[in-house]
Amino acid sequence: MAEFTVPEVDYTRYTNRQLAAVPLAVLVVALLVIAGWYVATGAPVNQGIEFTGGTEIQVAVDAPPAQAEQQIRQAFTAEPESIRSVPTENTYIVTFQSNDGSSVNPSELERQAEQAGFEIRAISSVSPSFGGDTQTLALGGVVAAFLGMSLLVFAMFRTFVPSIAVVISAFSDIVIPLALMNVLGIELSLGTVAALLMLIGYSVDSDILLNNHVLRRSGDFYESTYRAMRTGVTMTLTSIAAMIVMTVTATIFGIQLLAAIGTVLVFGLSADLMNTYMLNLSLLRWYKYEGVAR
């Protein structure tokens, strides 16, 4: 079996500004998408029923797929937030959100589904107040994890530029997938929050690996960079491949949560490659050859 090798990029052909321009431009666009979404909807990203409150009911509808959605919408007095099919024949998951702070009565939805002749497979509900508490805890956990990571990085390197390079890269690795979640219609849920937490760990792994090789290992800057890339790029590409397989499989079998987690991780890990070996590397090279000299 042929051994996988990471091609060596001739970084001497590019200035630090050229390397940093692309990831910074992508970060700015992502921030603009999130800001625009907040202005338009009142939230930086669409939220699932775990955070807003609501009811999810799984029903079997004896009708062709083209007619089933119309029958489901006519059966309920409340407007469904989403209707999605699952691999089981004629089975659909109908979601009702409580965006206005009022809850949809699960018993009433169950009664309306039975009157329409649907077979109810499962039903679950989250109150708006509980969803708000869950949102506070989940997002507070992400902020706490990011701040803890930042403090640990500064404690490890004890110098501003290499530390802030890691922090900016990790921040971008989270912001870019959040913006893409809005574009792709992926809701913020406990599963996608877990994916964002995993991205913090993935980002720190590759960035610290690069910083350690450049700042603490012997050898030329580019030699140290290529050593770090052989491990870091291989590790990240392997994770991306695994997440792609998970996303495709989950999509085929209708497991929406795993598909959403996999999609967020694929985009986040791809952004991490760009941020680590363009943005972080440009800051390290500036620090190594210009910042230290000053």
Per-residue HEC secondary structure of 183-221 comes to: HHCCCECHHHHHHHHHHHHHHHHHHHHHHHHHHHCCCCH
- Cα separations (Å) of 172 from 19, 131, 203, 231? 15, 27, 10, 21
Query: For the chain, where do the domains classified as CATH 3.30.70.100 start and end?
Result: 54-126
Residue 253 predicted with pLDDT over 50? yes
Residue 232 predicted with pLDDT over 90? yes
pTM beyond cutoff 0.85: yes
Query: What is the average pLDDT score of the chain?
Result: 89
Neighbour tally for 117: CB within 10 Å? 13
pLDDT band at 292 (very low <50, low <70, confident <90, very high): low
Query: For the chain, where do the domains classified as CATH 1.20.1640.10 start and end?
Result: 11-47+130-291
What confidence score (pLDDT) does residue 195 get? 95
Q: Which residues, at least 6 apart from 68, have a Cβ–Cβ distance to it below 8 Å?
A: 61, 85, 90, 92
Residue 196 predicted with pLDDT over 70? yes
What confidence score (pLDDT) does residue 101 get? 47
Q: Can you read off the two tokens belonging to residue 95?
A: 């979601």
Output the CATH code of domain 11-47+130-291.
1.20.1640.10
Rounded mean pLDDT, 116-128: 88
The CATH topology of domain 54-126 is: Alpha-Beta Plaits (3.30.70)
Return the amino acid letter for 185. Answer: G
